[in-house]
A and B are shown apart, each in its own frame.
Chain A
Amino acid sequence: MARIIEEQYVWRLPVRIYHWINALSIAVLFVTGIYMAFPIISPPVGEAVWYHRMAWVRYIHFGTAFIFIANFLFRLYWALFGNDRYGRFGGFKPWLPAWWGQPFKEQLASYLFLKKEEPDYCGHNPVAALTHFLFVFLGSWFMILTGLAMYGENNPGGFLDTMFGWVVLLFGSSLTMHTMHHLVAWVFPVYLILHLYAVVRHDIVNRSSITSSIITGYKNRVEECAEYAD
């Protein structure tokens, strides 16, 4: 049984606030988005002008999307310029061959049961960093760019269309872009499963109280704690 050596302050408040706004807005965006593509609730009774059911779902989707974007941009700022050892991009340099070296290989081997040791990082381990980059960073960029392009479609020549209308051309047609926005949205529930599993697993294997750390900010240091960040 591992012994708690010390409590470490890992996730600073901005990171924790970002995390929960992000989690909530993704949940709202996913549910409203799926509903918009496939509205299943039976129609209201009465005149159409009395109701705005679909309009409200879209309104919530768009409103939440702007919160999501603002939150994402804030996190981007924090990752680039924040005074935060574990919340910065810092050591994440996948364009350098060295980054794919020993720490990454060991962590991957451990996840694949090829290695007995379970490395314990204070911040993100290299495999986690890569997963976040692929799912959360690239996934968010994809959803933001296609989303803003779609949002600008009702007003060709307007601000959003001028800024993001070129995205439509990458997909060939507007409908293909809609379909891809819908398809890539599923990246987030897939990520959620991986994320929750990895968190719970690390909590059990390393006993680092990683689950509660995103609320309190503190992780327990048990025995030796490998360093990955910078």
Chain B
Amino acid sequence: MEKKETFAEVFEARGVKRRDFLKFCSLMSVYLGLAPTMVPRIVSAMEKKPRIPVIWLHGLECTCCSESFIRSSHPIVADIVLNMISLDYDDTLSAAAGFQLEEIRKKIMKEYKGKFILAVEGNVPLKDNGVYCTINGESFLDVLKETAADAMAVIAWGSCASFGCVQSARPNPTGATPVHKIIKNKPVVNVPGCPPIAEVMTGVITHFLTFGKLPDLDRLKRPKTFYGVRIHDKCERRPYFDAGMFVESFDDDGARKGWCLYKMGCKGPTTYNACSSIKWNEGVSFPIGSGHPCLGCSEPDFWDNGPFYTRRADVSFVGVNSNADKIGVVAVGAAAAGMAAHAIGTAIKKGTSESKTVETEED
């Protein structure tokens, strides 16, 4: 078993200057919300600790998480970011293929038993014994369970692995199930987003390397550091929301002036992610910054909470085109009609009973 290189060694071999390396470390400390005094600890971990071996499995997914990950912007050279981790198995990126690649997975599982990270992109179809996703003749369910058994921790990349995403949207024909509902006996961290922000992905791994454990997680097993703030509460368009200045259609004056996208169906008020702080593509922009409402891609069931471009969502158990107000108005109408009918009934009842009384008096 050869000794794993450290991050610093890899960076050096790739010709990254020490200055850039230190910049990367300080940036990571900022993203992770650590005090400046923690930077030396990150540097030291990067220099001394061997890189963590990572097995990266792909289930039912579209590979957008990988696409996002290989575009991490810091340090600038993209292939170095890929070397952040010792990515020993990734069936999308590896040169090896077929049995050769599966051999590598088995080898890592044996050599680094209990010491490697299992990164999972995509989720697991459970219906019909998992036939809807097979790798090398094995169902993805079996591959995942087998690999997770020897892993130190599991990182669920993206909304698919974390919450199910589009595959598990109603009616979920393949029984797509997120990772944390299958792997119960290992620490699982969810890094949702469709895809997650590259810096969030590198940040989670940096935290793991520096402190040797997963970051603090919230109720949905997301790292608090990156998923602790609502998009809405850090949104640059928030003053327009508070003032009541809303975009009414994508080609109106308000849209041109950059007003709030709340009425265009923005899910910022219910979405936890780092988009409004870290942003995308080297901090260039994020959906709301570019004039598009947030779709809430990092929230559970976001495909079922449509439509995307209306604030008032469909009420899932009633069906499409059924927002709360439509149902409410019908219910109020029905109550009013019912009471009116009852009032007529009461009048008739009173009339008949009174006429009866009159009759008896006559008798």
Q: Which residues from chain A sit less than 8 Å from chain B, CB to CB?
A: 34, 37-39, 41, 43-44, 48-55, 57, 111, 113, 116, 153-154, 156-157, 165-166, 168-169, 172-176, 178-179, 182-183, 185-186, 189-190, 193-194, 197, 201, 204-205
Is B327's CB within 8 Å of the partner chain A?
yes
A-B contacts at CB below 8 angstroms, number:
137
Nearest chain B CB to A56 CB, angstrom units: 9
Contact A37 B312 (CB under 8 A): yes
Contact B243 A175 (CB under 8 A): no
> With contacts A49-B243, A182-B324 known, what are 18 further pairs, Cβ within 8 A?
A43-B246, A54-B243, A113-B345, A156-B218, A156-B229, A172-B301, A173-B300, A173-B301, A174-B270, A174-B271, A175-B270, A176-B313, A178-B313, A182-B325, A183-B328, A194-B339, A201-B343, A205-B350
Nearest chain A CB to B157 CB, angstrom units: 19
Which chain B residues lie closer than 8 Å to A172 at the CB level?
A: 300-301
Known: A48-B245, A173-B302. A179 touches B332 (CB 8 A): no
Contact B305 A175 (CB under 8 A): yes
Interface residues of B in 318-332 (CB under 8 A from A): 323-325, 327-328, 331-332
Nearest chain B CB to A1 CB, angstrom units: 11
CA distance A113 to B352 in the complex (A): 12
Contact B219 A43 (CB under 8 A): no
Which chain B residues lie closer than 8 Å to A41 at the CB level?
A: 244
Which chain A residues lie closer than 8 Å to B349 at the CB level?
A: 113, 116
Is B44's CB within 8 Å of the partner chain A?
no
Which chain B residues lie closer than 8 Å to A168 at the CB level?
A: 219
Q: Of residues A50, A53, A174, which shows the largest number of chain B Cβ atoms within 10 Å of its Cβ?
A: A174
B324 interface neighbour in A57, A154, A179, A190, Cβ under 8 Å: A179
Which chain B residues lie closer than 8 Å to A49 at the CB level?
A: 239, 243
CA distance A129 to B224 in the complex (A): 45
Nearest chain A CB to B312 CB, angstrom units: 6
Known: A51-B243, A166-B219, A168-B219. A190 touches B353 (CB 8 A): no
Q: Of residues A113, A173, A185, A194, which shows the largest number of chain B Cβ atoms within 10 Å of its Cβ?
A: A173
Contact A38 B311 (CB under 8 A): yes
Contact B301 A51 (CB under 8 A): no
A38 interface neighbour in B254, B301, B312, Cβ under 8 Å: B312
Closest to A35 in B: B244
Contact A156 B224 (CB under 8 A): yes
Closest to B312 in A: A37
Which chain A residues lie closer than 8 Å to B241 at the CB level?
A: 54
CA distance A48 to B238 in the complex (A): 9
A43 interface neighbour in B230, B254, B343, Cβ under 8 Å: B254
Contact B331 A186 (CB under 8 A): yes
B245 interface neighbour in A38, A44, A165, A182, Cβ under 8 Å: A44
Closest to B332 in A: A189
Known: A173-B301, A185-B328, A190-B332. A48 touches B242 (CB 8 A): yes
Q: What mask results when residues 247 to 283 of chain B are scored 1 for a CB within 8 Å of chain A, else 0? A: 0000000100001001100010111100000000000
Closest to A58 in B: B242
CA distance A190 to B337 in the complex (A): 11
Nearest chain A CB to B181 CB, angstrom units: 13
Which chain B residues lie closer than 8 Å to A169 at the CB level?
A: 219-220
Closest to A156 in B: B228
Known: A51-B244, A173-B305. A182 touches B312 (CB 8 A): yes
CA distance A204 to B233 in the complex (A): 54
CA distance A118 to B247 in the complex (A): 56
Closest to A54 in B: B244
Contact A154 B233 (CB under 8 A): yes
Is B83's CB within 8 Å of the partner chain A?
no
Nearest chain B CB to A186 CB, angstrom units: 3
Closest to B305 in A: A175
Nearest chain A CB to B156 CB, angstrom units: 16
CA distance A77 to B336 in the complex (A): 33
